[in-house]
A and B are shown apart, each in its own frame.
Chain A
């Protein structure tokens, strides 16, 4: 938000119109309603087109300690020669929580500053959580990190998104060794590959498991249970009394 409006330019277009244009350019999330596609629908909702809401980005001020925190992170990153706007795509302050959407190539640099700068002092990382958004084309897989600063009693969330076709995120283990098992879990469940992790192997599922069960394209159940040569069919294929 540092670009200044040059004087003498035309008035910027109406905010509502801009927001509308932004919304129309988003992908279609669903069409119609009530599941009817033929003429049976007399409600008029059959032609409905619902678009995905555009990604949120909170305007300043964020409120609470969030502005201090964002300023401190910005100046800390500037000192290390990495502009804030380049490392952090957008900042969302929502429901009393601050989220920084970080570009993956700068994740470890940002985390390093967050840990080492006394003004930030996020000593503790409470792990990684994966989220799979198949509809969010080009940003399907998200890795979400929650950080705690015991010194300042603050919390911060970092979020990184990567496409399904290139699910690589640099590892955080060098900055926060506690991420070791958490990253293994996220790899196991979502298939996000954490580059540079010391031993990225499955942790919850068996070593020879196919697929990543927490992804949205992975069904609940429907997997035959193997047990020492015998196979128990999935629940929907088991014998039924008719």
Chain B
């Protein structure tokens, strides 16, 4: 142990070398640095397995009681909003899908809904595209909630929960891979519709998934719902009531665990959610256990919605089975086609633009390189992501690129409530509180 006085530091600095705590205490006593209190300031993070990425918490501890907690963020800021101002509206999807990497399809949908509102084409989005969007979002909600519950288990010390959760999440990712070609960062939902229709065999795969999933979720509930160790770590932990949620702007499962059934899918429907049958699960316990139950129930409801989507997609096709808006000035002309060497450009479209029509080639070139123009103005589209209200504020100056895009990410706002949930509690419960708000730092820092 060494100690020295630094001009820049708040006081005497003690270098702790390990196994020398008694020496430190004795030296502090001698120097008069310890006026009776046992305050200890601990940096938890930014590299800490249970902080869901690079989140740093500055904790002031009195023994094991947290007296003050300050979350510090910004370690994963990648300038996505700035980058989007330098790309076309369609390319913007490629960027925003990478923000909250556990719910990429929600980011894409929020951005596309805002773009479509700016374009004034919200009513002209093909029915099939909206159903596909809902299908993908609900699948994504399941994968995101599974990840939340799985990592929650791990952080409390239960690896079985993690392994089960990840195994089941893999089934959703397999469906994503089949439908979009990618397991994450899909860029599947585009302004005007979605990038492509379901591939052959997808309906059967989704039905297989729907048959399998209730049992797997039931297993998870058997493992956790009444598990004494789990209850001891979650019941009455990280309390935040309705007034606290409203004051701090907290939405999503945390808000619904206070008994308020506020779900944008019901209250301000988008993508045709008003035509699906589903319930909004609530709990009244305001604690981490209530949030767990809300997430479990929401997965059941998502399965219901996915079932209805599958029936609509498998049902007799209407005359218009497009998945992209018919307006050739907005919707990209090419549908990707599966060739012998994998997924690629549609040979028919290439034949058309390269061999038959000069105008089609010019149109294709202009649309893909320059993009479409969006009338000047601003729009705010909000959707219910797995973590709460995900809002996209898009501003256009009439050009082919966004003038400004801002995402109101629910993780960012929900993290603000952490001090309110943790202060006065035990340090071990900080882990449970962070996990129960389920922040994703990619979304927080953008």
Residues of chain A whose beta carbon lies under 8 Å from any beta carbon of chain B? 53, 94-97, 99, 123-127, 129-132, 144, 146, 148, 150, 153, 155, 157, 176-178, 180-182, 185, 202-206, 213-214, 220
Contact = CB atoms under 8 A, between A and B. Distances in A.
Interface in B71-106: 73-74, 77, 79, 81-83, 85-86
Interface stretch (B30-38, B139-147, B152-160, B378-386): B378-386
Nearest to B393: A129
Given A124-B251, A131-B404, A202-B74, 18 more contacts: A94-B377, A95-B118, A95-B120, A95-B379, A99-B378, A129-B393, A130-B406, A144-B378, A144-B393, A146-B380, A146-B408, A148-B389, A177-B248, A178-B249, A178-B416, A181-B413, A204-B446, A213-B79
Contacts of A94: 377-378
Question: Which 5 A-B residue pairings sit nearest by Cβ, starting from the closest?
Answer: A178-B249, A129-B406, A204-B77, A204-B74, A129-B393
A150 B249 contact: no
Nearest to B380: A146
B247 interface: yes
Contacts of A204: 73-74, 77, 445-446
Interface of B: 73-74, 77, 79, 81-83, 85-86, 117-118, 120, 246-251, 260, 262, 267-268, 376-380, 382, 389, 391, 393, 395, 403-404, 406, 408, 412-413, 415-416, 445-446
A97 B267 contact: no
Nearest to B71: A181
Nearest to A186: B406
Given A97-B379, A204-B77, A126 B389 contact: yes
A126 B408 contact: yes
A195 B446 CA distance: 26
9 contacts: A97-B378, A97-B379, A124-B249, A126-B413, A131-B395, A144-B378, A146-B391, A204-B445, A220-B85
A150 B260 contact: yes
A155 B403 CA distance: 23
B408 A129 contact: yes
B67 to A, nearest CB: 18
A213 B404 contact: no
Contacts of B391: 126-127, 146
Contacts of A155: 268, 380, 382
A97 B376 CA distance: 14
Given A95-B117, A203-B73, A127 B395 contact: no
A220 B247 contact: no
B12 to A, nearest CB: 24
Given A126-B389, A150-B262, A214-B81, A181 B118 contact: no
Given A126-B391, A220-B86, A181 B408 contact: no
A125 B74 contact: no
Contacts of A124: 246, 249, 251
B186 to A, nearest CB: 24
Contacts of B247: 176-178
A123 B268 CA distance: 16
